[in-house]
Amino acid sequence: MGKSATKALRNAGEVPCVVYGGDEPIHFSADELAFKNLVYTPDVHTVVIALEDGTKINAILQDIQFHPVSDRILHIDFYQIFDDKEVMLEIPVRVVGNSRGVRNGGVLRIVTRKLRIKAIPENLPDFIEVDITEMKIGNKKYVTSVASDDYKILHPDNTVICQVRTSRTAIVDEVDEEEEEGLEGEEGAEEGAEGTEAGAEAPAAEAPAEE
């Protein structure tokens, strides 16, 4: 602990770290290469910190500081997690599917790339999947579309995850036109059938009586 100690650790290729969330903060250090698969990835991982005295701590990466010039890791903060205690975490969004609107020339815009959620560690997802297959031009996906019993989303219901915007090359959705024509045809057939039934049920006019 202290500036001189942390400087000596960095010069030796070690990264000073601290774990919060327990009874008291725990300071430790580890080789910089040990963090390669944890830091340089868009995914979120829970980690097990194995200390030299045999203690093992389940934690998540909470904050990381990089050198402004060399981009080396200067310091990492972890947060200890417990099986029965909810934790807040930002989870990356993963878009899947081939949007109808994009096929017709629209542009997919991802507005929110990470969602902040609250859950017990067992229910923390690696990512939150958003299916855009049925999205048309002008459609939006809100956080309510990815709600789950496993976690609570800490965003307002009107938070937009992604949307399909129109563009100069956009065309009319032909599938929609076909659907509309089909519906109009069905409505016309129903009206014709109703008219036929009404005609069949109407009483015939009586012939005028002969004088």
Regarding whether 76 and 48 lie in a shared domain, the answer is yes
Count of domains for the chain: 2
Residue 177 has pLDDT above 90, yes or no: no
Task: Give the up-direction half-sphere exposure of residue 33: CA atoms within 13 A in the CB hemisphere.
Answer: 2
Q: Please give the residue range of the domain that contains residue 76.
A: 3-80
Q: Quick one: pLDDT band at residue 40, thresholds 50, 70, 90?
A: confident
Q: Which pLDDT does position 67 carry in this prediction?
A: 83
Q: Quick one: pLDDT band at residue 126, thresholds 50, 70, 90?
A: confident
CA distance 119 to 127: 13
Instruction: Among 53, 80, 107, give the residue marking a domain's end.
Output: 80
In a domain, 31, yes or no: yes
Nearest Cα to Cα of residue 14 among 79, 66, 73, 82: 73
Residue 115 has pLDDT above 90, yes or no: yes
State how far Cα 110 lies from the chain centre: 10
Q: What angle do CA 90, 146, 179 make, to 5 degrees?
A: 145
Q: Quick one: pLDDT band at residue 46, thresholds 50, 70, 90?
A: confident
Residue 89 has pLDDT above 80, yes or no: yes
Residue 97 has pLDDT above 50, yes or no: yes
Regarding whether 8 and 57 lie in a shared domain, the answer is yes
Q: How many CB atoms lie within 10 A of CB 81?
A: 19
Regarding whether 127 and 75 lie in a shared domain, the answer is no
In a domain, 172, yes or no: no
Top-confidence residue, 188 or 157? 157
In a domain, 19, yes or no: yes
Average model confidence (pLDDT) for the chain? 80
